[in-house]
A = this chain, B = another copy of it.
Amino acid sequence: MMREPLHSKEACTGSVNAVKDALYALNGKWKLPLIVTLSGSPKRFKDIQRELENITPKILSKELKELELNGFVERKVFKTTPVTVTYELTPYSSSLDKIIIELMEWGIQHRKHIISMRKNEKNQTSEVLKTLEMLDGEEVNVPV
| Interface size in chain A (residues, C-beta < 8 A) | 63
- Which of these, B20, B96, B103, contacts A131 with CB under 8 Å? B20
A100 partner residues in chain B, CB cutoff 8 A:
6, 19
A20: chain B residues at CB < 8 Å are 32, 107, 130-131
A14 within 8 A of partner (CB): yes
Whether A16 sits at the interface, judged by CB under 8 Å, is: yes
Copies of this chain, complex-wide, total 2
Measured between alpha carbons, how far is A48 from B101 in the docked complex, in Å? Answer: 32
- A21 touching B107, Cβ below 8 Å: yes
Pairwise interchain contact A96-B106, C-beta atoms closer than 8 A: yes
> Does A113 lie at the interface of the complex (its beta carbon under 8 Å from any beta carbon of B)?
yes
| Residues from chain B with Cβ under 8 Å of A97 in the complex | 6
Q: What's the minimum C-beta distance from A33 to chain B, rounded to whole angstroms?
A: 6
- In the assembly, what is the distance between CA of A69 and CA of B97, in Å? 29
Q: How long is the Cα–Cα vector from A99 to B98 in the complex, in angstroms? A: 10
B141 near A22: Cβ-Cβ < 8 Å: no
Contact A130 B12 (CB under 8 A): no
What residues on B are CB-neighbors of A111 within 8 Å? Answer: 18, 21
| In contact, B143 and A13 (Cβ under 8 angstroms) | yes
